[in-house]
Amino acid sequence: MATLTKRVTIYFDTNLHKALRLKSVETSRSVSELVNDAVKEALAEDSEDLKAFEERAPEHLMSYEEMVKRLKKDGRI
């Protein structure tokens, strides 16, 4: 089965584009492949972060002031 793709226009910083082209040549992969893999990796990291936030949702949320008071009480500051 063929992979469905969507064509888009992305504007890169000149130096970033140059680096991508060089990496493309060195790895024998297209710039599109490199960008797709980078975006997939970033989205996977976001997914992991969201899962961690959901798992910690029931925990007590401590304010900045509470944290400073606790650090002072424990002699850490």
Which pLDDT belongs to residue 56?
87
Q: What is the mean pLDDT of residues 54-59?
A: 88
- 21, 49, 45: which is closest to 35 by C-alpha? 21
Residue 44 pLDDT greater than 60, yes or no: yes
Write out the two tokens for 48: 């992991």
Residue 69 pLDDT greater than 90, yes or no: yes
Note the pLDDT tens digit of each residue in 7-37.
999 999 999 999 999 999 999 999 999 999 9
In Å, what is the CA distance from 15 to each residue of 11, 19, 33, 41, 77?
12, 6, 18, 22, 44
Contacts of 68 (CB under 8 A, 6+ apart): 77
Q: At what angle do helices 14-27 and 31-56 cross, to 10 degrees?
A: 100
